[in-house]
Amino acid sequence: MRTLSLVFFLLSLTFCQKETPHFDLKIALPSDPAHLDPLFLTDLSGQKLAKFLHQGLFTREKNGFLSPWILSYKKLPHAKNEVWRFQLHSHAPSLSDIEYSLSRLIFESYPRKGDYQFLISVRLFKENQIDLEFKPGTKETEWKEKLSLPFASIIGKEEWKKGILKSYGKYKLSTWKKNEFLDLELQSKTDLEFPKKIRFLILPQSSTSLFLYKKHQLDAFKLTDFLLSLPEANSEFTLTKRGRSVQYVAINQNNPCFDIHFRKALNLAIPREMIIQKLLENHADFTYGPVPFTYMEGISKFQVIPKETYDPKLAIEELKRSTCFSKLKTTKLEFRMRGDDENQAKGRAIKQALEEIGLKIQIKPIEKAPLYKENGEGKGDLTLLTWYSDFDSVWNFLDPLFHPNKVGNGGNRSFYKNAEVGKILDQPFKNDKDALQVIERIREDKPWIFLWSIQENYLVSKDFLRYTALVDFL
């Protein structure tokens, strides 16, 4: 009887389910975005969706900054500050939406607020004209750069008050079912370079993504390091992005026992080259302190960029010099990280290296949302984290992560405070020499265990490759 009931249940699922809506592409996201509010797009899932949904006054292109909405702009004379007037095209968003979105950068609280302290006021001048007032000394490249980031994207004012997202990017959001999927539709009906409908599936496990990919029910997903040896992951269907991230262990600077000798010991204890070769199968690149080699090659004074030193004997000597050495020998240090297999495998390798110099390490796997929240509140001793850059600049690996005014979820998750570094980062005019000075000071202070830059690998389908413009959106 039970067998018959099961048969009828399965038949009902087969013949009575609703017709599945058609999507040109289906793409996997490893986690549900916490927000679609541009001001809070700080995780990788949110950043990826921002490329599809959001648009600011400017976009960053290879040849500089362009704007789809600005007809012309000019600097106005002003006794104290930098004032620029913008003449907008008729097809630009309403002045009300632009004023509302940019004013939020000034008056609301959000993780990256420190990046927009240069903006003083937003004023409507007359039809299709708007004035932006910046602090004195703000470079044109700086405000263009910041106004091209997702946080400065334009959203519909009246819709937002009703809890509806009206965005001005390539796509609009049609459905968001939390922890399941997001459906996006192309805004322009005449744009043939992009698919008309995309469904983003929330798939935390890459094994699930692989299963759906093999069943031709998924068109793109991020490969974990352990799936890169698959026969499907060949050069034709694998897209690789390099130098866009740094993986590191934040050392909690709020703990006075974690002095410079302790931090040096931790950095000397890590066999980066061996971990990259054997555990990551060479799918990661070296960094110089907090910066990927790809950026250092352009600004470095070195003919050959030195790798971070591995010397466990010297690590033990440094640890003995720590002011809290006797306490550290008996204290279990809490090492936090994401709970997925890939992060825990890296965490175990780091744990083993630290225990070999005499420390006691307790791994604590945590889900993403509480991990980021609690780390931003200064909890935990050591935290394995990854930073994905918002834009192509060496400063994006320095300013958000080490500015003394951006501690916690603003980016500076090790709570590192160095007035000299902050002073350079606040300069309106910065060059490669300034960047090198900041990098060297951070390498001296060692607020992190410097690890590596992850190579991002995406397995894609033939259908995905039809839309060549989408490659830059991954």
CA neighbours closer than 13 Å in the CB half-sphere of residue 115: 29
Whole-angstrom distance, CA of residue 88 vs CA of residue 275: 52
In whole numbers, what is the pLDDT of the chain averaged over residues? 89
Q: What is the pLDDT of residue 411?
A: 86
pLDDT(270) > 80: yes
- β-pairing verdict for 197-202 and 25-29: parallel
pLDDT(407) > 70: yes
Angle between helices 260-268 and 312-321 (to 10 degrees): 170
86-97 mean pLDDT = 94
Q: What is the pLDDT of residue 262?
A: 97
The larger pLDDT score, comparing residue 424 to residue 225, is at 424
| Closest to 353 measured CA to CA, from 339, 335, 371 | 335
pLDDT(405) > 80: yes
Task: Please indicate, yes or no, whether the overall pTM of this predicted structure exceeds 0.85.
Answer: no
pLDDT(7) > 50: no
pLDDT(1) > 80: no
Q: What is the pLDDT of residue 221?
A: 93
pLDDT in tens, 8-33: 444 444 444 444 568 999 999 988 99
Domains and CATH numbers, the chain: 55-161 (3.90.76.10), 245-454 (3.10.105.10)
Q: Which pLDDT band, with edges at 50, 70 and 90, does 86 fall under?
A: very high
Residue 166 CB burial class (10 angstroms; 0-12, 13-18, ≥19): middle
Lowest mean pLDDT among 37-51, 228-242, 377-391: 228-242
User: Taking the CA atoms of the chain, what radius of gyration do you get in angstroms?
Assistant: 24
Whole-angstrom distance, CA of residue 32 vs CA of residue 207: 17
pLDDT(303) > 70: yes
413-417 mean pLDDT = 94
pLDDT in tens, 36-69: 999 998 778 888 899 999 999 999 887 788 999 9
Give me the numbers of helices (H) and strands (E) for the chain, helices first please.
17, 21
Confirm if 384 and 335 have CB atoms less than 8 A apart.
yes
Measure Cα distances from 199 to 171, 183, 195, 238 in Å.
Answer: 11, 5, 11, 20
322-335 mean pLDDT = 94
pLDDT in tens, 429-439: 788 899 999 99
Share of the chain above pLDDT 90, in %: 62
